[in-house]
Every structure is written in C-alpha cells, then in structure tokens.
Amino acid sequence: MPARVAIADRRPSRSPGPSDAVEELAGKLISTGRQAGLDAVGIASADVFASTRADLHHRKAEGLSGTMAFTYRNPDRSTDPGRVLSGARSLVVGALSYRRSEPGPVPSQATGRVARYSWDDYYARLREMLACIAGELSEAGWMSVVVVDDNALVDREAAYRAGIGWYGKNSLLLIPRRGSWFLLGSVVTDAPLPSARGRVEDGCGTCTRCIDSCPTGAIVRPGTVDARRCLAWLLEAPGDFPVAFRDALGDRVYGCDECQLHCPPNRSADRRDPPPPPAAGEEPWADLVSMVRSSDEELLARYGRWYIAGRDPRYIRRNALVALGNVAVGDDPQVEGALRAALASGDAMLELHASWAAGKLGRLDLLRGGSIAAGGPCEGGAHGTAEGRGTPGREMTGRVRSGSR
Ligand code: B12
Ligand code: SF4
Ligand code: SF4
C-alpha cells in the first residue's frame, strides 16, 4: 500500500472569512465528499493528537510495534497535522466502505485468501474522492494536502476526532450502525472549518469477540494490538515468517479479517443491509502455485498494490509457501512442482519455508537428495522471527499533485 500525498493548488493562504461563510464551505465540502462516493465525512481541528502521540511512544517502548516503521517511525510527526501542511487548521476526514459478502467457494485447495481491504485498490479510490474535497478547498482559496494510509498522519485518530466512529477493542474504528469495513483518509487544510461537536461513544460494551477470535492472541488488551503476533503484520514483515504462527496463518496470504468477521456491529449491519458480492475484477483469492512459480516481474505486476517489504517479491512466495503447507494436498502434481521449484531455488528463505510446507504435507521425500536440511513442522524457532531485521518503510513514494492521478 504505497502512501501518496496529493497537494491541491497552493495559492496564497488568506485570512479566515466570516463564520457563516466557513460553515457554508464545511457543508459544501461534506456534500462534495458524499457525492464523490465517501460513506462518511467529518471535520476535526488540526490540533496535535497528544494522546495518540503518547500511545505510539509507549507501544514502541513496550516493543508492541515490532519492526514496523510507518507512523511509528516518527510519532511526533505522524500526530501533528501541522507537519503535513504548515498552518493547518482543520482536517476533513473521509471513510470509504469496502464491505462485501463472502466470496464464492474456494476455487481449489491450493488457494490463498486475501483480506477484504485488498480485493481491489480501494485506497486509490479513496484518494480520488478526497481529492474532490481538496479541489473544492482550492477553488475557495485554501491550501490542502490529501493523506491516506500515510506515514505522515494517524488516520483513525483523525476520524475519531471528526466524530466518525469509536475505537473498537480490536483497535479498528467503527461507524455506528455500519461497522468497521471502512478505509480512512484526510484532507489537511488551512481553512478554519467548524469541527465535529462531539465524539462517538463506545459501542463495544461488554463484547470481547474480536479478542477471543484472534488466531494468535494479538489483541493484548482492549484497543491494543501486538504487531509481533498480528498475522496482518507478519505477512508484511521482512524476514522469515515466525514458525510459531505458521499454522495459525491458515490460507491467508495478505491481511487478516478475523477480528472484524466476528464483530457483532459488522454482522448486524450485514443483516440490516446485505453487502454487495465481490465486483468484477475484485480478487478475494490468490493461486498459491502460481504465486510460488511466477517471476518477480509477474508478481509485482499482479500484487504491486500490496505493501511488500522492500518491494521484494520473495515475500509473496514466502507467504504462499506457508499457506500451501497449511491447505494444499501433498500429492497434487502442481503443488509438488511448486515445492520442488522453491526447494531448488537457491534462496535460503524460500527453501526453508518450502521444506516446512513439504513436511506439513507429508512430502519430506521431496527434500531427500537435495541440499536442504529437513525442516518440517517441528523446525523450531531457529530461523527467528521478523523482529530484529531490516526496518521496512511504508515510506511516502511520491508527492502527487491533486487531479494528476
Ligand atoms: C500500523 C498499521 C497497522 C499495523 C498495526 C495495527 C494496530 N492495530 O496496531 C498492522 C500492519 C498490524 C495493521 C493491520 C491492519 N490494518 Co492497519 N494501519 C496501520 C497504520 C499505518 C498506522 C496505525 C497507527 O499508527 N495507529 C496508532 C496507534 C497508537 O493507534 P491504534 O492502534 O489505533 O490505538 C488506538 C486505540 O488503542 C485507542 N485507545 C486508547 N486507549 C484505549 C482503550 C480502549 C478500551 C480502546 C477500545 C481503545 C483505546 O487509542 C489509540 C490511538 O491513540 C494505519 C494507517 C495510518 N496512517 O494511520 C493503518 C490502518 C489503521 N489499518 C487499517 C486496516 C484496514 C487494517 C487491517 C484491517 C487490514 C487487514 N485486513 O489485514 C488490519 C487490522 C488489524 C487490527 N486489529 O488493527 C485501516 C483501519 C480502518 C478502520 N476502520 O479502523 C487504517 C486506518 C488504514 C486506512 N487508511 O484505512 N495496520
Ligand atoms: S488482524 Fe488477525 S491477527 Fe491481527 S489482531 Fe485481527 S484477528 Fe488478530
Ligand atoms: S468484536 Fe465486540 S469488542 Fe470487538 S470491536 Fe466488535 S463490538 Fe467491539
């Protein structure tokens, strides 16, 4: 998920107008966002996110962020909208739904599961919708910058302050009656817009289903995820996939939806208003054999919108090998071919994950005669975890002028 920033036309900033003009502009911005396709729009002041800054520092100190960089790289920056746009006064925050019904039956046993937020490039759509709001601001003479899933700003806190939703115990932001299947982003502007009058109250109550259903126990306390245990991060992290969590990974190859699937507000939203099926072109499944066997170029062309540590496609093959070990059938010739190819690849990381998969599928015979030490499901922790390895960067990859996308 490369982060991008769109900068609206940078005309000189002007003094705030009378408050009714500003109210009118706020109304216009909200309706522009809704017309563009956003499911919710709210406004917050651009004050520093002080409590989130403290949370980021504490979690880093506790080790809960693992080797993640992202917003954790520089908490003082990612919690200060004024570092995104000098003179920032307001945030116009938007939410875009990616809620879909369950995909159809799994195409084959050698199939990997993709988390819903990545069935398509919903982030690109969200940026385009927010760019419409930036355009409106620009026309009115204000400066603005669009930030979506960017290291420069913590999106959930912006949405919480804009009165869009509450923090669930899974740490996701939930919108009343609509749940959590939303992506979030902001337009940071120097326009002095009226902010949301209140915050949305907690809607979790005594429920703990997300905590109980997390396959790895990653929600270590309400609202706090330990990235070192979270499958969504482990699939993105560089290095070996930790042995301790390989079984729990199941068929996932990118992202994890478990703590949202069991969430009662999501389920009742689906009952009230059944979600649409996956649209043409949306990709809930990935062919594991072809993920292992495709060239680097093919993998990047197909899955390039995913966050891939260091843009290194070997991590896609690594993830596919673990999923193969969990769900494939060992005597399927296609699976055998993929394992043989990985075992003979000369890439130590892929060979180790392939040998683990071969062991799980009862195909230790594939290792005989090769140079790989047999490392079945009992391989142990010798290959380490993602921790302590190179720090990935969900760095901003470019600054794109609004309207140029
Ligand atoms: C780092 C990151 C991750 C990490 C860590 C996630 C985590 N929960 O720690 C990993 C890679 C694991 C991850 C996974 C996912 N992510 Co993510 N991720 C981010 C990122 C880049 C930064 C998040 C951040 O810095 N948060 C700061 C920390 C401090 O905030 P927090 O963890 O939300 O904690 C808050 C609560 O604890 C609350 N709080 C404090 N006290 C208390 C007490 C109680 C009782 C409660 C309930 C809450 C509470 O305050 C804290 C903030 O101050 C954002 C994009 C961005 N630029 O913001 C996307 C983002 C958060 N991710 C998003 C998504 C969709 C996901 C996944 C669902 C993807 C998937 N299907 O695999 C999973 C969900 C996992 C989960 N349960 O959170 C969306 C969330 C949308 C939403 N509705 O909330 C975001 C906003 C991206 C976007 N632009 O839409 N993500
Ligand atoms: S995304 Fe998956 S692993 Fe991470 S906290 Fe949610 S259920 Fe647990
Ligand atoms: S599963 Fe329950 S506790 Fe978790 S976010 Fe949903 S409502 Fe809140």
Are 227 and 352 in a shared domain? yes
CA of 248, nearest ligand number = 2
Asked if 320 and 346 sit in the same domain, the reply is yes
User: Measured between alpha carbons, how far is 4 from 395 in angstroms, rounded to an integer?
Assistant: 9
Whether 145 is in the pocket of ligand 1, judged by its Cβ within 6 Å, is no
Q: Of all protein residues, whose CA lies closest to atom 1 belonging to ligand 2?
A: 256
pLDDT band at residue 207 under the 50/70/90 scheme: very high
Question: Within 13 Å, how many C-alpha atoms sit on residue 156's CB side?
Answer: 19
Please calculate the CA angle 286-292-298 and round it to the nearest 5 degrees: 75
Rounded Cα distance between 26 and 45, Å, is 12
Helix ranges (DSSP H) in 93-165: 122-139, 155-161
Residue 68 phi, psi (nearest 5): -65, 145
Among 39, 80, 120, 149, the one annotated catalytic: 149
149 is catalytic: yes
Please count the other Cβ atoms lying within 10 Å of the Cβ belonging to residue 354. Answer: 32
Instruction: List, in order, residues 6 or more apart from 193 with CB less than 8 Å away.
Output: 22, 25, 26, 29, 43, 89, 90, 92
Task: Specify whether 133 is located in the same domain as 220.
Answer: no
Q: How far is the CA of 158 from the centre of ligand 1 (A)?
A: 12
Instruction: Answer whether residue 339 shows pLDDT above 60.
Output: yes
According to the model, what pLDDT value does residue 368 have? 75
Q: Is the CB of 208 under 6 A from ligand 3?
A: yes
Q: Are residues 163 and 26 in the same domain?
A: yes
188 with 245, same domain: the answer is: no
Predicted confidence at residue 20, as pLDDT, reads 81
Q: What is the pLDDT of residue 383?
A: 26
Instruction: With respect to residue 220, please indicate whether it lies within any of the assigned structural domains.
Output: yes
- On the question of pLDDT at 2 being above 50, the answer is no
Question: What residues pair up with 287 in beta bridges, in sequence order?
Answer: 111
Beta strands in 3-114 (DSSP E): 3-7, 40-45, 90-97, 111-114
Give the side-chain half-sphere CA count within 13 A for 405.
20
Dmax (CA) of the chain: 80
Both 247 and 332 in one domain: the answer is yes
Question: What is the bridge-based pairing of β-strands 396-401 and 144-148?
Answer: unpaired
Q: Do residues 324 and 357 touch, judged by C-beta distance below 8 A?
A: yes
CA 270 – CA 137 distance, rounded (Å): 35
What's the mean pLDDT in 5-15?
A: 46
Taking residue 15's Cβ as centre, other Cβ atoms within 10 Å add up to 5
For 342, the domain range is 216-255+284-367
How far is 21 from 342, CA to CA, in rounded Å? Answer: 63
What is the tens place of the pLDDT at every residue in 301-323? 999 999 999 999 999 999 999 99
Q: Answer yes or no: do 57 and 14 share one domain.
A: yes
Are both 189 and 231 inside the same structural domain? no
Segment 227-286, tens digit of pLDDT: 999 999 999 999 999 999 999 999 999 999 999 999 999 999 999 999 999 999 999 999
Considering the domain architecture, whether residues 43 and 123 belong to the same structural domain is answered as yes
Ligand 3 center to 225 CA (angstroms): 13
The pLDDT tens digits of the residues spanning 15-56 come to 545 678 899 999 999 999 999 999 999 999 999 999 999 999
Nearest CA to ligand 1 atom 24: 154
Question: Is residue 349 within 8 Å of 366, Cβ to Cβ?
Answer: no
Q: Hey, whose CA ends up nearest to atom 42 of ligand 1?
A: 223
pTM of full prediction above 0.75:
yes
Q: Which amino acid is at 361?
A: L
| Pair 399, 8: CB distance under 8 Å | no
- Residue 104 — very low, low, confident or very high, per pLDDT cuts 50/70/90? confident
Residue 190: which CATH number?
3.40.109
One domain, residues 10 and 156: yes
What CA–CA distance (Å, rounded) separates 65 from 254?
19
pLDDT band with cut points at 50, 70 and 90 for residue 370:
low
Q: For residue 166, is pLDDT > 50? A: yes
Radius of gyration of the chain (CA): 22
CB of 115 sitting under 6 A from ligand 1: yes
Residues 13 and 137 in one domain: yes
How far does the centroid of ligand 1 lie from the alpha carbon of residue 171, in Å? Answer: 6
CA of 231 to the centre of ligand 1 (A): 13
b vs e for 114-153, b when ≥16 Cβ sit within 10 Å of the residue's Cβ?
bbbbbbbebbebbbbbbbbbbbbbbebebbbbbbbbbbbb
Helix axes 19-36 and 122-139, enclosed angle (nearest 10): 150
Total count of domains within the chain: 2
Residue 115 Cβ inside 6 Å of ligand 2? The answer reads no
Q: Give the start-end residues of each E strand in 61-125.
A: 90-97, 111-114
Predicted local confidence at residue 369, as pLDDT: 57
Q: Are residues 92 and 225 in the same domain?
A: no
